[in-house]
């Protein structure tokens, strides 16, 4: 299992070798909304089967009245420190200012301020407007920005915070308590996608281990997926699957931090780019050895798209596969029917009878002796 540390440098988008298919047979989900088609194409050219489940809305509208008020305040009063957190947020701010005829005045005000940037996208957006950062967070984490500001005397300092799709109200209040005069810029909000049907399906696929990896390009996407799983009563199951069996591949450290909070290892490339993430996932999956369990004298291996017995592929539907996955997590240990009931996919009648039917179908595929019945207790794999 990978640790949540940067992986070795990986290729960027244009460096990906599309002549080979190193991800052939792999099943990968993408949660991104922006550049989704681009990311899907990269995976498919490398042989992966892609499940699309956009978690967030493309962009929720900001409050133009409040943003204009905040912009006028910055123009009139100036700023001592500007915290730029995202490229999208900075670009949206300047586009809005231009529509109001305030872009030149805003640039003039910001050139007098100290600019703190969280990461490369914010830096790029600033430089396209002729502004240059005075400091950039070494590992792109906002915690580094707050640590820097806490080390300073802030009494009377005018600080502008550009939100990153989620509220920074707590951080703003902490700065105010330190004496700063804080202006918060809310340029966009990350909200759940209007159609969450694919996301509910994604939770099912992760919990039943029918995927090898899920990719994340933003922390809000990770948080929303956990929220959906909680609404389904599958939060713990989702986290358990991502901790052990399904890779939560992230585009960068900020996104990875959202999974670390749940104890989920979240590898990411050293460069926060889509191409680098695809390459890093390829390397991560290649590094994971396919291991099997000898069951009733036969080698059984569970893959995202089915099961192999002695190297020969067999197919299992959702309920039998869910039962097998649960039994494989604790080979040889007896699992009660109620434990197996909880692992059945939604849409399946969750009852002892449903478990018995799933076990019968499982035995029909992998062999009658593979799953043993322990009277009055439950079932276990007949492992060697």
pLDDT digits (tens, 9 = 90+) for 161-212: 999 877 888 999 999 999 999 999 998 877 888 899 999 999 999 999 999 9
Same domain (yes/no): 238, 323: no
What does the H/E/C string look like for the chain?
A: CCCCCECCCCCCHHHCCCCCCCCCCCEEEECCCCCHHHHHHHHHHCCCEEEECCCECCCECCCHHHHHHHHHHHHHHCCCEEEECCHHHHHHHHHHHHHCCCHHHHHHHHCCCEEEECCHHHHHHHHHCCCCCCEECCCCCHHHHHHHHHCCCCCCCEEEEECCECCCHHHHHHHHHCCCEEEEECCCECCECCCCHHHHHHHHHHHCCCCCEEEECCHHHHHHHHHHHHHCCCHHHHHHHHHHCCEEEECCHHHHHHHHCCCCCCCECCCCCHHHHHHHHHHHHHHCCCCCEEECCEEEEEECCEEEECCEEECCCHHHHHHHHHHHHCCCCCECHHHHHCCCCCCCCCCHHHHHHHHHHHHHHHCCCCEEEECCCEEEECEC
* CATH number assigned to the domain comprising residue 261: 3.40.50.10090
In a domain, 275, yes or no: yes
Q: What is the mean pLDDT of residues 211-220?
A: 94
Structure confidence at residue 58 (pLDDT)? 64
Q: What is the mean pLDDT of residues 34-53?
A: 93
* Structure confidence at residue 53 as a pLDDT band (50, 70, 90): very high
The residue out of 152, 185, 218 marking a domain boundary is: 185
Q: Work out the percent of the chain whose per-residue pLDDT is above 90.
A: 54
Same domain (yes/no): 322, 361: yes
Whether the predicted pLDDT of 41 surpasses 80? yes
Same domain (yes/no): 97, 167: yes
pTM above 0.85, yes or no: no
Whether the predicted pLDDT of 8 surpasses 60? no
In a domain, 39, yes or no: yes
How many domains does the chain contain in total? 3
Structure confidence at residue 299 (pLDDT)? 78
Higher pLDDT residue, 41 or 8?
Answer: 41
The residue out of 227, 262, 287 marking a domain boundary is: 287
Q: Work out the percent of the chain whose per-residue pLDDT is above 70.
A: 90
Same domain (yes/no): 219, 273: yes
Q: What is the mean pLDDT of residues 313-341?
A: 84
Same domain (yes/no): 164, 85: yes
What is the domain extent for residue 242?
Answer: 13-58+193-287
The residue out of 232, 262, 287 marking a domain boundary is: 287
* Structure confidence at residue 366 as a pLDDT band (50, 70, 90): confident
Structure confidence at residue 30 (pLDDT)? 97
In a domain, 175, yes or no: yes
In a domain, 151, yes or no: yes
Whether the predicted pLDDT of 66 surpasses 70? yes
In a domain, 6, yes or no: no
């Amino acid at each position: 299992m990978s640790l949540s540390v940067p992986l070795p440098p990986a290729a960027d988008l244009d460096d990906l070798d599309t002549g080979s298919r190193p991800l052939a047979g792999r099943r990968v989900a993408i949660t991104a909304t922006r550049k989704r088609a681009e990311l899907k194409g990269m995976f498919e050219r490398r042989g992966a089967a892609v499940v699309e489940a956009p978690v967030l809305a493309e962009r929720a509208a900001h409050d133009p009245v409040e943003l204009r008020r905040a912009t006028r305040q910055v123009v009139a009063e100036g700023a001592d420190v500007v915290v730029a957190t995202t490229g999208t947020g900075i670009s949206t701010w300047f586009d809005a200012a231009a529509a109001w005829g305030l872009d030149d005045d805003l640039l003039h005000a910001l050139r007098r301020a100290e600019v703190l940037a969280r990461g490369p996208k914010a830096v790029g957006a600033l430089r396209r407007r002729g502004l240059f950062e005075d400091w950039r967070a070494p590992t792109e984490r906002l915690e580094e920005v707050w640590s820097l500001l806490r080390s300073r005397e802030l009494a009377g300092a005018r600080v502008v915070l550009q939100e990153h799709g989620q509220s920074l109200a707590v951080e703003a209040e902490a700065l105010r308590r330190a004496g700063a005069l804080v202006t918060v810029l809310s340029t966009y909000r990350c909200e759940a996608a209007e159609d969450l049907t694919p996301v509910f399906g994604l939770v099912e696929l992760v919990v039943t281990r029918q995927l090898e990896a899920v990719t994340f390009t933003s922390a809000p996407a990770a948080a929303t997926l956990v929220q959906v799983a909680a609404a389904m009563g599958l939060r713990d199951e989702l986290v358990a699957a991502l901790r052990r069996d399904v890779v939560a591949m992230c585009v960068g450290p900020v996104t990875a931090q959202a999974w670390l909070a749940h104890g989920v290892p979240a590898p990411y490339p050293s460069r926060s780019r889509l191409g680098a993430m695809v390459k890093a996932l390829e390397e991560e999956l290649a590094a994971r050895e396919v291991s099997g369990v000898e069951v009733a004298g036969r080698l059984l291996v569970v893959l995202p798209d089915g099961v192999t017995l002695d190297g020969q592929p067999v197919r299992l539907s959702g309920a039998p596969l869910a039962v097998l996955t649960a039994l494989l997590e604790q080979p040889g240990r007896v699992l009660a029917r109620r434990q197996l009931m909880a692992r059945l996919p939604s849409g399946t009648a969750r009852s002892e009878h449903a478990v018995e039917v799933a076990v019968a179908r499982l035995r029909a595929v992998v062999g009658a002796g593979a799953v043993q019945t322990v009277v009055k207790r439950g079932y276990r794999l007949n492992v060697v």
